[in-house]
Amino acid sequence: MTLLAFVCGLLSKPMLVTLPFILLLLDFWPLNRIGNSGFKIKKASRLLIEKIPFFILSAASSVITFIAQQKGEAVQTLAAFPLGARFENTIVTCAGYLGKCFWPENLAVFYPYENHWSPTILLFCGVLLLAITSFALLWINKFPFFAVGWFWFLGMLTPVIGLVQVGQQAMADRYTYLPLIGIFIIVVWSVNEFTRRWAIPKLATAIAGSLILIFLAIQTRRQISYWQNSETLFRHAIAVTKNNAEAWEHLGTFYLRDKNRVADAQGCFQRSVDIAPSKISARINLGSVFILEGNLDSAAEQFNAVLKLSPTDAEANCDIGYIFASRGQWDDAIAHYDKAIQAKPDFASAFHNRGLAFAAENDWTNAIRDYQSAIQFEPAHASTHTHLGIALLHENQVSEAVSEFNRALELNPNDAEAAQQLQSLQK
């Protein structure tokens, strides 16, 4: 039953891969399966052998998760996140998680990555972690709960501490919901030990516990208020962190897509690019805003900057192709659409736009082919059906064209071009 529950846990959250290690800690304390006479080889072997199925499942889950994250391009390279920076970040964020546990202030939805921490901060965090670890080992027999709680915390943080960097964040508060159980073990049993040794009245501990709960309730209410919408959430992240390019970009996306505040979105995307000039998504978003404003030269500047960083980027090639098409440079537009489709074979927008370019050159055969490919990957795009209908008319495929116009109007009853084409065919 335990193994079945573990399988279900892994399917829910791969972070549970460290559970076999936690089970060994629990064997030591409070289960005391090792015994009081010291750590016997036979007992150790037995405890390890019974955990073998758990370790096998953990290994399998780790491999599958890593492959999935790698295919999703979430696993970062050593070039982007050097090994030295990862070790520094591991030390600082581990201490940071501990600090936020006891003083939950300045929490953010996204914490930007620091490539280099100041020697003072690094030294302080390193000494703090070393001191706690030393205490846990030196007093392991007298305070076994402290060692179990501390190594629970460190062990369960291992998959998400950043040695294998997934995503762009330095740390994430959500990662601590299981590791902090270890810290709570230390706190609860330490308080119990303290009150027992010093004969603290139960009323005093009850009052202290109530005050702590009231403080945490107030902090929870404050934290919830930042999650009202994307603006409050990312504005808060910007306020409590430094150089948060990710938060600026998400704020700009909110202004653009949800509020249609193009000028505000441009300012946010520009701030994100200023902080992180190599941030491809922010440059593409900024270029898209320039297109909306009709500033094609500035848009092209952003897309060209992206192509210098990543020549095969599908979005940038598609967008720069659109700019060439807007200027009537059809061959250049088609060349960039080709690159976009080569990089992303299911890129419906690139197929649609390349179809428009072929249509502009009266190449209706290729235009029809591209429109059909676009529909295959994005069937609910009304204007693609309309443009396919027009191309089919040029090839004298009238009945097929009528079907496409009708489909376009089903998807978008306000498609004036499809309605006009149908009207003209009925005359």
pLDDT value at 107 more than 70:
yes
Query: Does any domain span residue 317?
Result: no
pLDDT digits (tens, 9 = 90+) for 324-354: 999 999 999 999 999 999 999 999 999 999 9
Q: What is the CA radius of gyration of the chain?
A: 29
234 has pLDDT over 60: yes
Cα 68–chain centre separation: 14
The CATH number of residue 286's host domain is 1.25.40.10
**Are residues 63 and 122 located together in one domain of the fold?**
no
- Give every CB contact of residue 9 below 8 A, 6+ residues apart in sequence: 16, 19
Q: Could you tell me if residue 378 is inside a domain?
A: no
**DSSP three-state, residue 142:** coil
pLDDT at 122 over 90: yes
Domain identity same for 211 and 243: no
Task: Tell me, yes or no, whether 190 lies in a domain.
Answer: yes
Pick the residue with more confidence: 272 or 168?
272
pLDDT, tens digit (0-9, with 9 covering 90-100), for 142-152: 999 999 999 99
Asked whether residue 246 is domain-assigned, the answer is yes
Mean pLDDT along residues 240-260: 97
Last residue of a domain, one of 51, 75, 99: 75
Residues 257 and 136 in one domain: no
Residues 277 and 183 in one domain: no
What band does 115 get if pLDDT is binned at 50, 70 and 90? confident
276-282-283 Cα angle (round to 5): 90
| 179 to 94, 101, 151, 318: CA distances (angstroms) | 11, 11, 9, 44
Instruction: List, for residues 1-47, the tens digit of each pLDDT value.
Output: 999 999 999 999 999 999 999 999 999 999 988 765 555 677 788 89
Same-domain pairing of 117 and 252: no
Average pLDDT over residues 250-269: 97
* Interatomic CA distance for residues 204 and 370, integer angstroms: 75
Residue matched to tokens 């009238």: 398
CA-wise closest residue to 352 among 376, 374, 331: 374
Query: Is residue 194 located within the same domain as residue 106?
Result: yes
Distance between CA atoms of 354 and 269, rounded to whole angstroms? Answer: 28
Within 13-40, residue ranges assigned H as helices are 19-28
Does residue 381 lie in a domain region?
no
Q: Are residues 203 and 122 in the same domain?
A: yes
The SS3 of residue 75 is strand
Residue 298 has pLDDT above 90, yes or no: yes
pLDDT of residue 36: 57
Question: What's the pLDDT at 39?
Answer: 53
Question: Going by C-beta distance under 8 Å and a sequence separation of 6 or more, which residues neighbour residue 371?
Answer: 351, 352, 355, 384, 387, 388, 391
Final residue in a domain of this structure, among 22, 40, 75: 75
Q: Which helix (H) or strand (E) holds 237?
A: helix 230-240
Q: Domain range holding 33? A: 1-75
pLDDT of residue 71: 84
| pLDDT on residue 427 | 67
89 and 144 housed in the same domain: yes
Mind listing the pLDDT tens digit for each residue in 48-81? 999 999 999 999 999 999 898 888 877 888 777 8
Rounded mean pLDDT of 108-134? 95
pLDDT at 76: 84
| 388, part of any domain | no
pLDDT at 75: 81
Give pLDDT tens digits for 378-426: 999 999 999 999 999 999 999 999 999 999 999 999 999 999 999 998 7
Strands (E), 62-114: none
Give the distance between the most distant pair of CA atoms in the chain: 100
Is residue 355 included in any domain, yes or no?
Answer: no
Give the model's pLDDT for residue 74.
78
**Pair 214, 137 in one domain:** yes
What is the pLDDT at residue 70? 85
Mean pLDDT of 98-117: 93
Q: Which residue has the tokens 């559970």?
A: 19
117 and 13, same domain (yes or no): no
* Mean pLDDT of the chain, nearest integer: 94
Residue 353 lies in a domain: no
- Whether residue 81 is found in the same domain as residue 212: yes
CA atoms within 13 A on the CB side of 281: 9
Total domain count, the chain: 3
Q: What is the value of pTM for the model shown? A: 0.89
Do 97 and 187 lie in one domain? The reply is yes
Domain boundary among 310, 337, 371: 310
